[in-house]
Structure 1
Amino acid sequence: MIRIVPKPTDTQDDNSTQMVINALEAMGAEYEILLLRDLDPFSIKYRNDLIWICGIRQDGVEFELIKALALKNRLVNTPEAIATCASKVLTSALLTHHDVPTPETLFTASRQHVDTFLQRHGKAVYKPVYGFDGDGIFLFSDIGDLADPPYYVQEYIRNDRDFRIFVIGYKAAGAIYRQSPHLTHNIHQGGVGTPVEIDSRMREIAEAAARAVQIDYCGVDLLKTEDGYTVLEVNGTPNWHCMAAPIPELLAEYLVSEENKMR
């Protein structure tokens, strides 16, 4: 059985969960909705099911509940992968460990270390360790612009757009470029997405990023560089706004395929 944990931020006009449900129904696949609020983590009745986690609340409670679900079930995405993507520090560490290009990054509690980083780069980008939707990200060139530690900062790479690559089963499935007048091009921050073909280098680096964090499906955010592309982050519960590729259908096919493997 495929069980579905709906995305809590779905709206009538932007309903990621329903898009995939529609695709599952078109395939004749059986599914049921699973509401995390109804779960007792000490008495999980589900066994050997495939459970699609379309999204969870950033409150800690739902993350603990999906970890309990994962004890006896196959989760897409796994709690470990979701936690990895939620942490910019761990994501950057894995990308670096697996030699996936990513901007030079510093994580520290030392303002002096940040100042040394600034002296080398002139300016840098500050990001909250657990931020999402582009919130809290800003460009700075003065240590006085920072509040209390910890500090996760990256070198600034001049750009007028970024690229979101949707990866399913370690295969790049669709892509857009996003543009806005702001530092971040996130669509939730007013960015505009445009479908784009996936070139060979884009495909290679996005798939390598997904393998590095061991995730079933994700959105890999890239910047173009002189040498190709560099990975900004990996999103573990991504939307697929503006993509020309039929992502809901492809994701539904992946869920059915993975569920069949369990039989």
Structure 2
Amino acid sequence: MRIGLLHSTIREDEKLLIESARKQNTGIDIVDVRRQVFNVETWHKKYDCLLVRCISATVGIHASMFFEHLGLPVVSPLQVMTICENKFLTSLKLRNNGVPTVPFALAFSENEAIEAVNQLGGYPVVLKPVSGSWGRLLAKINDQDALEAVIEQKHVLGSPTHKAIYIQKYINKNGRDIRVTTVGNRVVCAIYRDAHHWITNTARGARASVCEVDKTLEQTSLAASQAVGGGVLGIDMFETDDGYIVNEVNHTPEFKNVQRTTGVNVAKAIIDYCHEVAHHD
């Protein structure tokens, strides 16, 4: 069994994966995608499974595309990465599969964005880029003046991704959310992320603590995983009076804080899953 670990930078997460693979006597090659030529005519390296850990989603998606074209199993698969990379598409998949999720809308102009806010029940709302991570470029919008200002900035910035105005209803989560880590068809563990700021992301300083996984949390997490196609996922949840609702699903989740906080060996679970995927194919 040999895994190709595709990366652009070796972070603590990747070090944990490498250590776990070696402890399990699993061959693992550390493949820096920046130093490869992805040519179907000349590629000769043989792997039983590719584990995509690229920081850039664009790089990861194209690497997954290449290896799936060669007929090799990839974690996570191209379809899963493509869905989760787009927050709007993720929301659509969740809703279409009956998974409770944050109410959302998309608009392409200021007037329609104002109407979208009305349809979502009014202010406050949250504006997000359709693609992004680590809580970057999020804006909590409390009134129409703020909405117009942020939309003007998006249009002036000129990036194609800013043309799509993705809007979510603001959910008062009382200073915390839940990050659930799923691997294959099981919930591995979960943490609370507490912060004084409305953005509760450990990359931005949120404090992590153990979250006990009850039956409803497990069922909601697995339903979200199945809605986007499974694999190795980080699912962000809010607690509401009506139960758990899914905020986002991440296709290449960082897990060092999860593993450190819970004591659960997430890296081993991922390597075990690579074995399952390789043997299944």
Deviation digits for residues 105-150 of structure 1 (CA, Å, limit 9, x no counterpart)? 0111032222123333221000111111100011102232322332
State, as a whole percentage, how many aligned pairs show the same letter: 23
Tell me the secondary structure at the aligned position of residue 175 of structure 1.
strand
2:280 counterpart residue number: 261
Map residues 107-146 of structure 1 onto 2, 5 A cutoff: 107-119=106-118, 120-140=121-141, 141-142=143-144, 143-146=147-150
- The letter for the 2-side match of 1:76 is V
1:232 counterpart residue number: 247
Count of aligned residue pairs for this structure pair: 258
Q: Indicate yes or no: 2:211 matched with 1:158.
A: no
Contact 2:127 2:138 (8 Å CA) reproduced = yes
Kindly tell me: are residues 260 and 65 of structure 1, through their superposed partners in 2, closer, same or farther at Cα, counting changes over 3 Å?
closer
Kindly tell me: are residues 188 and 210 of structure 1, through their superposed partners in 2, closer, same or farther at Cα, counting changes over 3 Å?
same
| Cα offset, 1:9, TM superposition | 4.2
Kindly tell me: are residues 192 and 4 of structure 1, through their superposed partners in 2, closer, same or farther at Cα, counting changes over 3 Å?
farther
Kindly tell me: are residues 56 and 39 of structure 1, through their superposed partners in 2, closer, same or farther at Cα, counting changes over 3 Å?
farther
5+ residue gaps in structure 2?
A: 156-162
2:158 counterpart residue number: none
5+ residue gaps in structure 1?
A: none
Contact 1:4 1:54 (8 Å CA) reproduced = no
- The letter for the 2-side match of 1:50 is C
> Structure 1 residues 32-41 or 107-116, which shifts more?
32-41
Cα distance between partner residues in 2 of 1:28 and 1:178: 34
| Cα offset, 1:39, TM superposition | 2.9
Map residues 59-74 of structure 1 onto 2, 5 A cutoff: 60-61=58-59, 63-71=61-69, 72-74=71-73
| Cα offset, 1:2, TM superposition | 2.7
> Structure 1 residues 226-235 or 110-119, which shifts more?
110-119
Cα distance between partner residues in 2 of 1:64 and 1:246: 29
TM (normalized to structure 2)? Answer: 0.85
Cα distance between partner residues in 2 of 1:249 and 1:42: 31
CA RMSD of aligned residues (A): 1.8
| Cα offset, 1:49, TM superposition | 2.3
Cα distance between partner residues in 1 of 2:139 and 2:196: 13
- The letter for the 2-side match of 1:261 is H
TM (normalized to structure 1)? Answer: 0.91
Cα distance between partner residues in 1 of 2:59 and 2:52: 14
| Cα offset, 1:50, TM superposition | 0.9
